[in-house]
Every structure is written in C-alpha cells, then in structure tokens.
Chain A
Amino acid sequence: MSALAFVFFLLTVLAVVTLALRRRAYLPFAIASVAAAMIGLFVLFAPLDEAISLIGIPLRLDSTWQILGRPMSLDPQNRAGVGFLFLAGALFFGLGWAVSPGRSFVPAGLIALALLTGALTIQPFLFAAIFLELAAMACVLILIPPGSRSERGVLNLLVLYSMAMMAILFTGWLLENAGVTSVTPDLALRVILLLGLGFVILVFVPPFHYWLPSIADRVSPYSLAFVAIILQSSGLFFLLRFLDNFAWMRSDPLISTAIEAAGILMIIFGTLVAVAQKSFLKIAVYILIADIGVSLLAIGANLEIGTEIALGLTSVRVISLALWGLGAGLMSKSGYLSGAGRAAPVATAAALIGLLSLAGQPLTAGFPWRWAILDQLGENIGIGALLITLSMLAIVWAVLRWARVLYDSEPAEDETLPVVAGRVAAALLVAICLLWGIFPQLGMPWVSQAAVGLVNLGP
C-alpha cells in the first residue's frame, strides 16, 4: 500500500464528511484537527519501504505512488514539510471553532492541505507549481466563506499564483532540458530571473504581497493567518528544495545575494509600514513580511545554520500567527479600536502577544530563532544584524502603541464578549507561545528532521 495514496484517500473522506457536517459548530473542527494531527505524525514517523506488522497483519508502506504516469514520493527531503503542514492544520482546525471562520474553512482547508501535499511530493518537483496554483484556489474558498462578500484581493491571489506557476514551469523545462549550469551565464540569468519572479510571489516579497493587505481587514483574520502560513511555508520549502537540488544555484553568488537583498527589503518595508499602520488587522501582515524577510536573510547570508534558522522561524510562525488570528478573530465582536482591550482582555492580549512573537520579541516563541540569527550574523556585525535589531525595537514600539489604544478607554455598551471557551483557548495558546519561547528545544526535532532531508544545504 502506498502511504501517499492512503493519505489522499483519508483526506478525501475527511473533506466529504466535514462538508456534510459544515453546519455543526464543533464537530467538523474536532474531526479535522484530530485527523490532521494523526496524518502529520504518520507522515513524519511512519516506517516507509520496509515490512512491518500492524496488529499481526503484515504490511508494507510504499513511499511512492504512481498517478497519471507521474510518481509522487514521500522522501526525506519533503516528509518534514508535509508533516509540518498537517500539524499546522491540526492546530488551526482545533482552535477554529472558537472564532467560527466560516463553513468552508475545514473542508476547503483539508483540500488545500491535500493539494499542498501534492505540491511537495510530485516528481519531478518542478510540477509542484500547478498544485500550488490549485491550492491557492482552495484558499479562496477558505478566505471567502459562503455568503461573505467577494473580494478583489482573492482574485489578485489567483492572478499572482498563475503567473508564478507559468514562470516556474518554464524554468523547470530550462533546468531539466536546456543544460543550465554556472558555465552557461546567459541561460542561467534567464533561469534566475524567471525563477525569481515565481518565488517572490510564493514567499510574498513586496510588491507581490499586495493581495494580503488588500483583504486583511475584510476577511476573517483567522482564515487569513491559516492561508498565509500554509501558502508561504510551502513556497519556502519549495525554494529550499530548489537550492538543495541544483548545485550551480547554491554556488552562484548572484542567487544568494538576491535572496539576501529580498530579505533585507522585506525587513525594512515590513517594519516601516507596520509602524505607520493605522489598521490593527493590516499590521500583522507587515510584521509577517518582516519575519519572512528574516528567514530569507538567514538563507541568503550563507550562515552556518541558515537553513535551520529559516526552518525554525517557519515552525514558530505557526504559533505566532495562530495566536494573532485567534485573538483578532475573538476581538472582531468587540471591534479593533478603543476599548476592545477592556471588552475582551484575553483575546486582545492574545492578538498582541501573537504580534510580539511574530516580531521575535524575548520570552515569546519567535525569539530563540531571532537570537540564533543575531548570534550568527553578529560574528561580523553587518547591516543584517542591525536591521533585525532595529526592526524588533520598532515593532515592539508599534505593538505597545496599539496596546495603549486598545486598553486605554472604556468599551461601548453594546459590545459582545467572546465565549468563555474562546477565551480559554486563547489563554492556552498564549501559554504555549510563552513556553515555546522559554523551551525552544520543543521544536528542534522537527527542524533537525527537515534539515537532515536537505542534505546539500547543511553546514
């Protein structure tokens, strides 16, 4: 039996079941969360391509699945990425009932996870671009649940991902058939430009991030956080796989410089706009952009453990964004302006701590990996370390300013308080975020497994 066929079969059944149960308040979220967690653990730890015995039944789980003549394969390079997506999904599905992100959230979320699994496992991996485009379509259903207002921003998402798909598919052909290496500079430059266009879209490099702020205050923040984390993480895993597979790319200084420059641009842009931001929902988008910039800087700066840092930042981003999404989603009933902090203190605190964690502030989940990159960059103090430090300081100031606005005045009389269960969920996630900040080794097994799969990117 193929492990992937089993996963896809399970996801299909789950999508149908949760679609049928979409009007129920808690059940689809609970089913999807437990199932996604089990699939994630199965992908990460199941013994593949060896005979095993399950309750006395001899069984062999194949890592490869042939479909339409193309193999899909779970290998050390992608297992950690696929497992990560499902564990992130389990967290978001598990907490989703507290904020009611819409009836389509669970079924469309499962479909998106299935398509992203396809993207990370298809061989040759260049065809992943088509699955990413299909996943972006599923994300539209997550962002715009039935009855919600249709937004131009989601069409922009489709347009951008279509362009990324075309650029990456064409690059794939150049790489596989036209014999591109570092000794064919003309072809290599074409590949870099086309591939660059594809990846700046997939990892939300400005100005190709514009679909995010355009819908940030129009859709559920929880749905937006989920979509941002699964799409961006998949894009980052895809980028790392490219670098791992092509030696000339790893050795070309133009590519590492371009990635580093994109990271620096994102840190500067994200920080400046976050500080100047007048919308509480959009500020998270720009802090996220600055955070992704730090990941790109870690990859492009040729650090000894740059890949591990980028993967570590990605892993804690899930907690930070889930916390922000949950807090902001619960706050939505109280509005996002003066008095919201008093009407919904736990939810507001959760959203603010999520933002601080996303910005890598001390004592939060995001901090240890920021500390790691500062430590690595600090060996020869450069613009990168300085920018990260300034960015962290500027964002903490911006978040504290928002905290003052949110907590400083009395709430309006007609404001509705979030349900108790929602507050408990938010408090629990705050505790996890703080615990992760104090014990960063909790995420290390996954980072190690992911880094081991990328054999050529190691120190």
Chain B
Amino acid sequence: MSWIPLVLVAVTAFALIVVERPGLQIAILAVQYAAVAWLSSLALPSQVAAVKVVAGMITCGVLALTVAGSHAEDDKGSGREFRVIAAILILGAAIGLGRTNWMRIPDIQPEAIMAAAILMSMGLLQLGLFRDPLRVCIGLITLLNGFEIAYAVIEPSLAILALLASVHIGLAMVVSYLTLVAQPERLAEDGE
C-alpha cells in the first residue's frame, strides 16, 4: 500500500509546478503533506507522523489566508509548456536517482527514498522557476518535505519533528508577512 503515497507525492510535486491558481496550489500542498506523513509513518509511529499533518494543515491555512487577503497576480514563471517539459525531465531524473539508496541511509524503505528524491528535485526546480514569495515558499516546503521523509528514518525524535514543523509554519508566516504587511515587489514596481 505504500506505493499510494509515493504516487501522490509525485503527482502533487508535478502539479505544483504546472498549476497556476494559488488556491489550488495550496490544496495540492495539503494533499502532499498528507502523503508525506503517510510515508513518514513507515519509520515513525503513526501518532508521531500525524504531527506532520497538523503542521502541514496549519501551514496551508496560513498560506490560504494570505492568498485570500492578497491581490497579487498569479506567478506563472516561465511558459506552461516549458514548465511541463522541465517537470517531466526532472521527475524522470529523480525517479532514476531514487531507485538506489542515494542518501545511503540504513533501513530506509524504497518508497521513502524515492519520494525524498522526487520531492527534493521538484522543490529545487520550483525554486529555480519562480520568484513570487508564495511559490518560492511552496518550493521550499516541497524541498523540506523530501528531506524530512529521509531524515525521519535517522532522527525520529519528537523534539526535532516539532522544530522542523515550526520551520514550515515559520516559512508560511514570513511569506504571509511579505505578501500582506510588506509591500509586494510587483506593486512597488508599479508605483515607481
């Protein structure tokens, strides 16, 4: 059954690059968090892995409120066709990488190492493609999610889980601040 979250991870990571509507991106990110928690439960007790879902939902909630309160246009980055091709290429490379234990972590499930490779690669791709704070934040979260799937195997402590959860929530709050409280870059440029 652990192939289900793996497929979900790949689909959501791909969709986050292609989809342009901010609200839909956040919904996809929420599904990704659930899939990541499922994969983390391969190494962690389910109750502990549920912390990831809770932190993820708080993060998505903050981002959703940010999107609702902002009037910024969607960041399309490069053209959609380019993004689709880039995402397919990177996804293919990540699947190739994830077939081996590329991080050399002992006792890690094959699905977990594959998911880590996919999320980290696609997260990096998002960071390279977009400059809007919301999309950069989603890219960073995707990257961190991939890292945390692997890291949960080697460091299953609750304290670290809580600290990493605070990083996710903190990122969402900083992006919310930059979007709502500080003057968005695009609006500032229009005003000049």
A10-18, A136-144, A332-340, A426-434 - the one binding chain B: A136-144
A-B contact count (CB 8 A): 87
Q: Is B162 an interface residue (CB 8 A)?
A: yes
A147 to B160, CA, bound (A): 34
Q: Which B residues touch A137, using CB under 8 A?
A: 170-171, 173-174
Tell me whether chain A's interface is mostly helix, strand or loop, or mixed: helix
Q: Is B133 an interface residue (CB 8 A)?
A: yes
Q: If A150-B182, A166-B147 touch, does A159 touch B174 (CB 8 Å cutoff)? A: no
- What is the 8 Å Cβ interface bit string for chain A, positions 125-136, against chain B (1 contact, 0 not)? 001001101100
Q: Which B residues touch A145, using CB under 8 A?
A: 182
A31-39, A89-97, A169-177, A393-401 - the one binding chain B: A169-177
Whether B178 pairs with A150 at a CB distance below 8 angstroms is yes
| A152 touches which of B144, B163, B185 (Cβ 8 Å) | B185
Q: Which B residues touch A68, using CB under 8 A?
A: 158-159, 162
How far, in Å, is B131 (CB) from chain A's closest CB? 6
How far, in Å, is B151 (CB) from chain A's closest CB? 6
Q: If A137-B170, A165-B167 touch, does A150 touch B184 (CB 8 Å cutoff)? A: yes
Whether B166 pairs with A70 at a CB distance below 8 angstroms is no
A53 to B57, CA, bound (A): 49
Q: If A152-B131, A166-B144 touch, does A130 touch B167 (CB 8 Å cutoff)? A: yes
A133 to B143, CA, bound (A): 14
Q: Which A residues touch B174, using CB under 8 A?
A: 137, 140-141, 158
Whether B182 pairs with A144 at a CB distance below 8 angstroms is yes
A68 to B157, CA, bound (A): 10
A158 to B139, CA, bound (A): 12
| B163 touches which of A130, A141, A159, A166 (Cβ 8 Å) | A130
Q: Which B residues touch A149, using CB under 8 A?
A: 182-183, 185, 188
- What is the 8 Å Cβ interface bit string for chain B, positions 133-146, against chain A (1 contact, 0 not)? 10010001001100
Q: Is A148 an interface residue (CB 8 A)?
A: yes
Tell me whether chain B's interface is mostly helix, strand or loop, or mixed: helix
A243 to B191, CA, bound (A): 50
Q: Is B25 an interface residue (CB 8 A)?
A: no
Whether B144 pairs with A69 at a CB distance below 8 angstroms is no
Q: Which A residues touch B127, using CB under 8 A?
A: 159
- What is the 8 Å Cβ interface bit string for chain B, positions 151-190, against chain A (1 contact, 0 not)? 1001101111011101100110110011101111100100
A146 to B157, CA, bound (A): 37
Q: Is A254 an interface residue (CB 8 A)?
A: no
Whether B159 pairs with A173 at a CB distance below 8 angstroms is no
Whether A150 pairs with B159 at a CB distance below 8 angstroms is no
* CB-nearest residue of chain A to B192: A149
Q: Which B residues touch A134, using CB under 8 A?
A: 166-167, 170
* CB-nearest residue of chain B to A155: B136
Whether B155 pairs with A133 at a CB distance below 8 angstroms is no
Q: If A158-B140, A159-B140, A162-B143 touch, does A151 touch B154 (CB 8 Å cutoff)? A: no
Q: Is A447 an interface residue (CB 8 A)?
A: no
How far, in Å, is A201 (CB) from chain B's closest CB? 14
How far, in Å, is A457 (CB) from chain B's closest CB? 28
How far, in Å, is A184 (CB) from chain B's closest CB? 13
* CB-nearest residue of chain B to A186: B104
Whether B182 pairs with A146 at a CB distance below 8 angstroms is yes
Whether B144 pairs with A151 at a CB distance below 8 angstroms is no
Q: Is A154 an interface residue (CB 8 A)?
A: yes
Whether A170 pairs with B151 at a CB distance below 8 angstroms is yes
How far, in Å, is B63 (CB) from chain A's closest CB? 15
How far, in Å, is B67 (CB) from chain A's closest CB? 15
Q: Which B residues touch A177, using CB under 8 A?
A: 154
How far, in Å, is B68 (CB) from chain A's closest CB? 18
Q: Which A residues touch B183, using CB under 8 A?
A: 147-150
Whether A69 pairs with B157 at a CB distance below 8 angstroms is yes
How far, in Å, is B27 (CB) from chain A's closest CB? 23
- What is the 8 Å Cβ interface bit string for chain A, positions 44-88, against chain B (1 contact, 0 not)? 000000000000000000000001111000000000000000000
A110 to B92, CA, bound (A): 45
Whether A146 pairs with B181 at a CB distance below 8 angstroms is yes
* CB-nearest residue of chain B to A166: B147
* CB-nearest residue of chain B to A139: B174
How far, in Å, is B13 (CB) from chain A's closest CB? 17
Q: Which B residues touch A162, using CB under 8 A?
A: 140, 143-144, 167
A403 to B154, CA, bound (A): 56
Q: Which A residues touch B188, using CB under 8 A?
A: 149-150
Name the interface residues of A217-248: CB closer than 8 Å to any CB of B: none
7 shortest A-B CB distances, which residue pairs? Answer: A149-B188, A68-B159, A150-B178, A150-B182, A130-B163, A70-B159, A144-B182
A-B contact pairs, 11 of them (CB 8 A): A68-B159, A127-B163, A134-B167, A134-B170, A137-B173, A149-B183, A150-B185, A150-B188, A166-B143, A166-B147, A170-B147
What would 13 more interface pairs be, CB under 8 Å, given A69-B159, A133-B167, A166-B147?
Answer: A68-B158, A137-B174, A141-B177, A144-B178, A149-B185, A150-B182, A150-B183, A155-B133, A155-B178, A162-B143, A170-B103, A170-B147, A173-B151
